[in-house]
Each structure stands twice: as C-alpha cells, then as structure tokens.
Amino acid sequence: MWNRQDLISKAEKLKPELKHMTVRPVFRDGVRTLESETSIVLDFGNHYVGYFSFSASTEGSHQDAPALLRINFCESERELDEENDDYNGWISKSWIQEELIHVDDFSALVHLNRRYAFRYVKIEAISLSSKYNIVIEDAYADTVTSADDNSVEVFGNNDLERELDKVSIRTLRNCMQEVFEDGPKRDRRLWMGDLRLQALSNYATFKDFNLVKRCLYLFAGCADDEGRIPACLFISPNIVGDDTYMFDYSLFFIATLRDYMQYSGDEESVRELLPAAIRQWELSKERFNGEDLIPDSDEIGWCFLDWNLDLNKQAGAQFVYIYSLKALKEIFIQLNELERLPELEEEIEAKTNAARKFLWDENKGLFVSGADRQISYATQSWAILADVLNGPQDYFELMNRLSKHGDTCPMITPYMNHVYVEALISAGMKEEAYIHMCYYWGGMVREGADTFYELYDPNDPNQSPYGSCTVNSYCHAWSCTPTYFLRIRHLTNGE
C-alpha cells in the first residue's frame, strides 16, 4: 500500500490561493426600499461564488421591532419563484440557499457567513412593523475562485460557439476553488466523475495542472485500507474520503491520470500514483464472474453512468472497465512499466470477448444491458469508447441503428451527453456531434444560462433525480465540456 498520508501532504502543498473580487449588483427595477411583506431582487449580472453583505438604513419612525428577513441566493432566474417551503425531495433541504435572519438594528453591516453560489439575491421582509421600512444602501459580494481569469479568452467561430465557450469557462471557473468542486451550490466536494471532465476542459483553457495534480493526490491519499478510491472527497473541515464507492468512479482515476500525463507531461507524479491506478484495476476485476462478465446489481449507485434512475448499468460498467484498462495500458507504455502489460492485454481481450458474447443483440445490432436487455445511449456510447467492435465504420452503423431504435433509455445529465458526443466523434460522426452539442448545451444558452446545469432535459425542464429541482445545481462542473469539444476536439463549424 502506498503512503496515503504522504500523498495528502503533497496535495496540501499544492492548495491554491483563492482570488477575491468585490462585485456589486443592480437593484431590479431600481427598487431599494422594503416594506413589511415585500421583497426586492438584486442582480449581480453573472454567476458568482462568494460571500454576501449589505448595509441598510430605516425610514419612518424609529425601528420599534426587529426585522425578520429571508434571503435567497439563486443561481438561475427560475429559483426566484421556487416555493422552498414545499420542498419534499430526498436529499437534505439544507442545500437550499436560504437564510432567515433577525436584524435588531441596521447601524452595522449585515454579513452572511456561508459561501453561496448565485447571480440573484432576493431579500424578503417577512416582518418589520408598520412604523418603519428598510432602505438597502449598499450590497456586495466578496467572490472567490482559484481560476485565473486573465489566462483565457473566449473562443469560437460564431455567436453560439462563443456563448458555449464562455458559459463553459464560467462554469469551470466557479467550480475551481480549493479543489475542482462538482458544484458550488451542492455538493461542494470533489467527485471523481466530475474531475475527469473538469480536467479536460481545464487543459483546454486555464491549464492549471497543479490543481488537477492536487486532486489526483488527494484521491489516492484517501483510498481505503484496501486501496479502493472513494467516489468523492469532503474537503472541509478536513480532507476525508466519503464512504461511497462507485464502480465507474473508482476506475476513472486511471483515465484521469492518463489524461493528466498526456496534457501535463509530468511523468514523475504519474509514476508515483501508478500503484493507486493499478489497484483500481485489481479491485474492479474481483467483481467479474467466471465468464468475464460483470454481474448486474440492484444496489443503488453501484455504478453511476448517469442520473437516469431507469438506466441499467451492467453493460456500461463492463465497457468503462475495458476503457479504463486501455488507459492503464497507455500509462504502462508511456512510462515503460511493462511488467504487467501482457496480463493487462489478456484481461482486455477476455472482457471484450465476453461483451461481444453476452451483451450483443444480433438481431438488433445493438448492445443490451441487464436481464431486460435494455438498450440505452449510455451502453452504446461506452461500447464505442471502449472500442469493443472493429473501428469507426462499426460505430457509425451502431449509432445509426441506435438513432432509429424506438425504445431507447434516454440520457438526462450533461455528464452523459458528454460521453455521447465523444462517442459520436469516435464513430467519425463529427457533424452529428457538433449538432448535438449545439442542440443540448445550446438549449441552456437559449434559456439564458450563465453557467451550465447539473441536469438538463430539453423535453422536461423539471427533471431532477432528487425529487424536486429546488435542490438542482445550475453551475455544475460536469457540464463544462463544450469548451473542450471546441478547442481540443475541434468541434466547430469552421465559419
């Protein structure tokens, strides 16, 4: 077992300085005065992460009763109209960005201690008294990010591409704090699946290699006693691995390490982290049955792939495993660590053969998953990225058959849509990939998004895996990849 404490110490030395900037809002409709049971909205003009303060005076008679205020922080305009009290989803209500405060007198600045993610701040006077009103004199946010705004300029060949790029960068920027957070509204922690995609967009834009390195060291440092890497880490008050493990997320340590190696060229760190990568292979391998097939499971969250609760994960898991082993092979070759290469190659072959034997539906010409032989975008996309057939022509045909297939389990997150676009590119379908990017992420742009969302289903604006979209996050790291597609995959229309 590697020295976990040593890796965490190394990661802590790479902790970035947060950059602060003070930002002031405009008062919607110019209204600054609050009577009892009225509210005002402050618009900061863009999405920010930070700390909010305001000063106010009173008008009328002397303040003869405390002010009871409700302050709501909203990432998107739609949150301004949410009925937070009606929330009955299954994750904690405490994620709703709302404060109920009493202010006894307004002679001092009112400062809120929690960090929030927002563009809009709604201040509602739940109760004052009939003898006084409040006038907001000043309001500002002390905003934070570890990203360097000066290091990147917006790119694109037309207005939509530039918007996609700008919104991606804003999303990534606001998730770049002491680690790559998944979302500054929720869950504010370091998730492996999100990190993999953030790192790719970061290589295309800010090129903060140290922040990726820090996160990789943290993950390896937080492995459990067996060496298994958790799905996510808590950063505060101390760095701790969550006791949640997901088959695909543990494996994504390998691909994230491979990508870091390729973009940064830092082989020394990759060599140091290689034992942790190999261990993810060994541990995942234990899950397979004697016929080299990953058994399906009812355990919720055993493998993630997407937030669609109807999605069967069996085939996707098999393909993510093969994809990850191929990434490991690239690391072995690049570092000239060839001792276990034959064993790795045999494993890739065995799992590929099993996939073709047990997961392929000859009649439909598509891969199936689980006892009900489900057909999904996730399964086909990961089959292509794992490269289990014979190259682009096969994948082109697979994707064509998929587009004509009637009952396909859909995708609901930008995270899964990223995988789909990658798969289209690998199938040689760049034009379709471009069209899909413009349709899907462009849909959020058309809604006026400053940052890309955690969940987005163009056909269902109320989509949420949490039982209510009140707790959905509207600045979510895993959705920031159009900038990667535009800049690294050259997914532009070239105008």
Where does this chain bind ligand RAM (CB under 6 A)? 182-183, 187, 191, 193-194, 304, 454, 478
- Which is nearer to ligand RAM, 144 or 231 (by Cβ)? 231
- Which is nearer to ligand RAM, 248 or 292 (by Cβ)? 248
If you write DSSP's letter for every residue of 363-431 in order, what string do you get? TTTEE-BTTTTB-BHHHHHHHHHHT-SSSHHHHHHHHHHHHH-SS-B---SHHHHHHHHHHHHHTT-HH
- Which is nearer to ligand RAM, 183 or 442 (by Cβ)? 183
Question: Closest approach of Cβ 178 to ligand RAM, in Å?
Answer: 17
Question: Closest approach of Cβ 132 to ligand RAM, in Å?
Answer: 43
Tell me the three state secondary structure of residue 467: coil
Contacts of 494 (CB under 8 A, 6+ apart): 157
Question: Closest approach of Cβ 455 to ligand RAM, in Å?
Answer: 9
If you write DSSP's letter for every residue of 356-377 in order, what string do you get? HHHSEETTTTEE-BTTTTB-BH
Question: Closest approach of Cβ 104 to ligand RAM, in Å?
Answer: 38
Question: Closest approach of Cβ 182 to ligand RAM, in Å?
Answer: 4
Size (the chain), residues? 495
252 DSSP assignment: H
- Give the number of other Cβ atoms within 10 Å of residue 89's Cβ: 17
- Which is nearer to ligand RAM, 193 or 227 (by Cβ)? 193
- Which is nearer to ligand RAM, 165 or 182 (by Cβ)? 182
Question: Closest approach of Cβ 484 to ligand RAM, in Å?
Answer: 17
Question: Closest approach of Cβ 478 to ligand RAM, in Å?
Answer: 6
Question: Closest approach of Cβ 199 to ligand RAM, in Å?
Answer: 14
> Which amino acid is present at 316?
G
Under a CB-based contact definition with an 8 Å cutoff, are residues 367 and 312 in contact? Answer: no
CA distance to 51, 206, 389, per residue, from 43 (Å): 15, 27, 52
3, 55, 49: which is closest to 174 by C-alpha?
A: 49
- Which is nearer to ligand RAM, 311 or 438 (by Cβ)? 311
Q: H/E element holding 39?
A: strand 39-60
CA gyration radius, the chain:
24
Question: Closest approach of Cβ 91 to ligand RAM, in Å?
Answer: 8
- Which is nearer to ligand RAM, 206 or 252 (by Cβ)? 252
State whether the Cα torsion 93-98-103-107 is positive or negative: positive
- Which is nearer to ligand RAM, 388 or 444 (by Cβ)? 444
65, 135, 56: which is closest to 104 by C-alpha?
A: 65
- Which is nearer to ligand RAM, 61 or 244 (by Cβ)? 244
- Which is nearer to ligand RAM, 187 or 259 (by Cβ)? 187
The Cα–Cα gap between 183 and 47 comes to 12
Contacts of 155 (CB under 8 A, 6+ apart): 161, 162, 165, 483, 486, 487
Encoding tokens for residue 280? 């993810």
260, 262, 256: which is closest to 229 by C-alpha?
A: 256
Phi, psi of 320 (to 5 degrees): -65, -35
Question: Closest approach of Cβ 218 to ligand RAM, in Å?
Answer: 15
Question: Closest approach of Cβ 94 to ligand RAM, in Å?
Answer: 15
How many separate helices (H) and strands (E) can be counted in the chain? 13, 14
- Which is nearer to ligand RAM, 133 or 284 (by Cβ)? 284
